[in-house]
Amino acid sequence: MRKLLSVVAAAALAALAAVPASATGHGVFETWREGAKAVTYDVQKVPVGARVAVVPLATGRKTSVLLWVHGLLPYRHYGAHVHVKPCGPNPADAGPHFQDQADPVQPSVDPAYANPRNEIWLDFATDDKGSAIAIANVLWRFGDRPAAAVIIHNEHTHTGPGEAGTAGPRLACVNARFR
């Protein structure tokens, strides 16, 4: 297992090195200020000074998104999703989850729309240093449709009817470019 994690970490670092900085979202979590790249809304669960990087990679009809975090609470589960608007002073400012096929009913809690094939779900569990890597793969591209941030949520993503796609309060946000 340790070897597998090392291979995944090496692949993640290689991906970060291969993608231009302009195509990624990255930063150090801070409280809201104009121009912040990464914002924490709950400094207990996503401490000021924790780090984050988001790397979207599109090839052919497929998209992969890699999320890397460091300095969060150790041994804790979080949910994370791509959202349609950039981070703002309030957690709700990032809008709803990005969906390849948009649910006509918002907020979307229908498993036909709120699922890991139609959205980017990047749930993760941190290690002893508060680090984690999550990767989502989908069979579609963002194109010119709006997607502007990744929100880290309080818990892993739910999948049942009436709660699909929910993951508790929004704890933090990182701005990113998706194409």
- Give the tens place of pLDDT for each residue, 158-173: 999 999 999 999 999 9
Six token digits for residue 110: 């229908």
Residue 179's pLDDT band (cuts 50, 70, 90): confident
Domains of the chain: 25-175 (2.60.40.200)
Paired tokens of 32: 């809201």
Q: Is 14 left (phi over 0), alpha (psi -120 to 50) or beta?
A: alpha
CA-to-CA separations, 73 to 70, 125, 130, 166, 172, in angstroms, rounded: 9, 10, 5, 21, 13
**Per the structure block, which two tokens stand in for 150?**
């990744």
**Full-model pTM:** 0.87
The closest of 63, 65, 61, 62 to 52, measured between CA atoms, is: 65
Give the Cα separation of 96 and 113 in Å (integer). Answer: 12
Q: What percent of the chain has pLDDT over 90?
A: 82
Confidence at residue 21, expressed as pLDDT on a 0 to 100 scale: 44
Looking at the DSSP assignment, which residues form a beta bridge with residue 149? 83, 175
